Amino acid sequence: MTTPSRPSSIGNAERKQRLDDLRHAMPASRVDAVLITPGSNMRYFFGEAFYESERLVSILITADRTTFICPKFEESAIRAKFPMASEMAFWEEHESPFTLVASLLTEQGCQRCAIDPECSYGHAARLVDALGQLDEPIASDSAAALIAPLRATKSQQEIDLMIAAMQLTLSVHQTIFEWIKPGMKASEVIAEIDRLHRAGGADGGNSFCAVQFGEATSHPHGVPGDPTLQDGELILIDTGCTIDGYNSDITRTYALSKLDSGTEKLWHIEKQAQQAAFDAAAIGTPCEAVDQAARDVLIRHGLGPDYDLPGLPHRTGHGIGLDIHEGPYLVKGDRTPLAEGMCFSNEPMIVVPGRFGIRLEDHFYMTESGPQWFTEPQQDLYRPFGQGMARHAAG
């Protein structure tokens, strides 16, 4: 298995620029403060996600101040995770952190606070209640419209980290293809994929892994159980990992022995749909047009339309970065124009209910001249990783 070199982590300069960009966007939205809570947005701006519990930990960003808020007894943990936490505000166990946030906003003359869209409903509701009880209530809103555009376009460093993660996962896929055989349980394959991701230098093992055989491939995200691979079954493996928090996500669908011509035909239609989506991706093109390009291929072959089966039961693709699924999306109704730095999955799956499913999933990132693949797409049902690697005489 090939282990890609690991790019350097996101540096302080890039994180500072992200905060500057957020602050520059706040006035136009009439927002005086943004409250970031544990999750991928915290990692995006500050390098660590911490964890969410019933005790509020958050970071308040205003025009000229960044205040880390946490229970007093967590001070040492916060300082260890966030060396930049020079300004901190604490609450004791008997005190309300939401009242503390409200008082900080009042002290800084804030009139509107945008709340991290990843904040749990329980925390958000209690904060909104605390803001509403002030003598001069502070308005609140979601920070999604401020944060999503920043995260949608990736820097070259972010793309490099995803390239490394994608290359590692593709190498794992190839190793599994050479190793897998009838009689193996799905759980055995998942365990081996996890071991290979760990050995290759991923942040941990699999960030997720779906291994499906035969009829189970017709269920886009699998079904419960631990099936055993039988001779002549289609194999679908969808897995990924993270490197410095950035995700990979690749699906391969192949067979170890000769299948019927109908299955082979649908595999090639799937391949055409994936290529059509890639070809439709151009700077300024609405995201939904990429989805439609894939569906148009299926419609020409009598599949669909829309989400009808046999056909494509879900969107063509999702954004990817610190979250494995993040906006914008290649789906009807998402009219976001494609822009340089955006990254997407390309996976227009074909499902034949009760029989099988075929999903080829690779990702591309947008450059000023058009889309670029993170990984080389699968070219053949029996030779998923190039010529001379079929497991049977595929003639």
**Domains of the chain from N-terminus onward:** 12-150 (3.40.350.10), 153-373 (3.90.230.10)
* CA 204 to centroid of chain Cα atoms: 16
Residues of the chain with pLDDT under 50: 393-395
Q: What is the pLDDT of residue 387?
A: 66
CA separation for the pair 31, 29 (Å, rounded): 5
* CA 91 to centroid of chain Cα atoms: 34
Q: How far is residue 220 from each of residues 115, 285, 348, 352, measured CA to CA in Å?
A: 33, 27, 11, 11
pTM here is 0.94
Q: What is the pLDDT of residue 21?
A: 98
CA separation for the pair 184, 48 (Å, rounded): 38
Strands lying side by side in the sheet with 234-240: 208-213, 234-240, 250-255
Q: What is the pLDDT of residue 5?
A: 82
* CA 356 to centroid of chain Cα atoms: 25
Per-residue b or e along 288-319, where b marks 16 or more CB atoms closer than 10 Å to that residue's CB: bbbbbbbbebbeebebbeeeeebbbbbbbbbb
Greatest alpha-carbon pair distance for the chain in Å reads: 79
Per-residue b or e along 143-167, where b marks 16 or more CB atoms closer than 10 Å to that residue's CB: beebbbebbbebeebbbbbbbbbbb
Burial class (CB in 10 A: 0-12, 13-18, 19+), 368: exposed
Q: What is the pLDDT of residue 393?
A: 43
CA separation for the pair 115, 56 (Å, rounded): 13
CA separation for the pair 206, 199 (Å, rounded): 11
132 three-state secondary structure: helix
The structure tokens 């693709």 sit at: 317
Of the candidates 33, 38, 37, the one whose C-alpha atom is nearest the C-alpha of residue 65 is: 33
Tokens of 277: 């989506």
155 three-state secondary structure: coil
The structure tokens 């966007």 sit at: 25
* CA 128 to centroid of chain Cα atoms: 29
| Beta pairing partners, 70 | 90
Of the candidates 100, 92, 18, the one whose C-alpha atom is nearest the C-alpha of residue 67 is: 100
Q: What is the pLDDT of residue 395?
A: 38
